[in-house]
Chains A and B, each alone.
Chain A
Amino acid sequence: AQRVTQPEKLLSVFKGAPVELKCNYSYSGSPELFWYVQYSRQRLQLLLRHISRESIKGFTADLNKGETSFHLKKPFAQEEDSAMYYCALRTNAGKSTFGDGTTLTVKP
């Protein structure tokens, strides 16, 4: 069965510092990986997906199949980046599995 692990429950950085939210997965097939974000009092929403290879709000994530990781990075964190971040994997059969999330706090 597939699994998504986000090793950090809480992550705190200062504004302007680089940030990396870790995500590791286990799946025997070829996965689709996603990052979802939930800002305070808002709905869970898609931030980015690995197949798009986009940079959204300054965030990027690279799928590393050798290390089975999909870490989310941003070179200069902003206070408005403070939120809960979930890494998710979708299998070939369409089943989605989410990690338990990382709460990012960006301090002024």
Chain B
Amino acid sequence: EAGVVQSPRYKIIEKKQPVAFWCNPISGHNTLYWYLQNLGQGPELLIRYENEEAVDDSQLPKDRFSAERLKGVDSTLKIQPAELGDSAVYLCASSFAGDRDEQFFGPGTRLTVL
């Protein structure tokens, strides 16, 4: 099994441009997480979905960030417009039984904003 799939793996854009990241969780996993990881720091939760419902988006900067998981399977995270400080690794993770289960992480998307 491929595990959690993320694309693209790397993205370089200029500031003020839009960018989107895609995540396909492990089949059957109902819970999906998006994390932001800055260099030298641990992952920080941006948003957590239970099926198609965003149950925790308190850390998502809603002025420029948006996410969707329309059919409760794959998900897209968007930034518009991107700022220099958004350069980071964006991690997607999924779990089977929600909060109580092990999270499986994807390889991440490394974003560089110039």
Contact = CB atoms under 8 A, between A and B. Distances in A.
Interface of A: 4, 9, 43-46, 49, 86, 88, 90, 93-101
Given A90-B99, A94-B56, A43 B44 contact: no
B28 interface: no
Interface residues of B, number: 23
B105 A43 contact: yes
Interface in B1-41: 3-4, 33, 40-41
Contact of A44 (B43, B48, B55, B99): B43
A95 B56 contact: yes
Interface in B95-114: 98-99, 102-108
Given A90-B99, A94-B98, A95-B56, A43 B107 contact: yes
Given A43-B3, A44-B91, A90-B99, A98 B105 contact: no
Contact of B103 (A46, A95, A101): A46
Contacts of B56: 93-95
B102 A100 contact: no
Contacts of A86: 42-43
